[in-house]
Amino acid sequence: MSHSPLPERPSLDYLRKLAKKRLQDMRRTDPDAQLAAAQFAIAKEHGARNWRALKAQLEAPKRGRVESPAVGFLRAVDLERSRAFYRDVLGFKVTKREDGAEAVLGPAQLRLGSGGESSIVFLQVGDIGTLHTTLAERGASPSQIQRVNWIKMRMFEVRDPDGNILWFGQSYHKNPENPSRGRGQSSGMQQALPELPVGKVAEAVEYYRHVLGFKINYQQDDLGVMDRDAITILLIKRTEHHLGIGSFEVYVEDADALYDELLAKGAIVDGPPVSRPWGLREFRVFDLDGNRITLAQRFE
The listed range with the strongest mean pLDDT (134-138, 176-180, 208-212, 222-226) is: 208-212
Percentages of the chain per state (helix, strand, coil), in multiples of 5 = 30, 35, 40
Q: Where are the domains of the chain?
A: 12-62, 63-193, 196-298
What are the pLDDT digits (tens) for 238-291?
Answer: 887 777 788 999 999 899 999 999 999 999 999 999 998 888 899 999 999 999
Q: Which CATH superfamily is domain 63-193 in?
A: 2,3-Dihydroxybiphenyl 1,2-Dioxygenase, domain 1 (3.10.180.10)
Closest C-alpha to 226, from 259, 250, 243? 250
In what order do the strands lie in the sheet containing 231-237?
195-198, 231-237, 223-228, 215-220
Contact 207, 159 (CB under 8 A): no
The sign one gets for the Cα dihedral 242, 104, 135, 43 is negative
> Residue 298: beta bridge partners?
280
Give the SS3 label for residue 157.
strand
CATH architecture of 196-298: Roll (3.10)
pTM exceeds 0.85: no
Residue-wise pLDDT for 102-115, tens only, equals: 888 765 678 888 87
Q: Which residues lie below 8 Å from residue 250, measured CB to CB, with a gap of 6+?
A: 69, 70, 71, 231, 293, 294, 295, 296
**Choice among 85-89, 146-150, 188-192, 220-224 with the minimum mean pLDDT:** 188-192
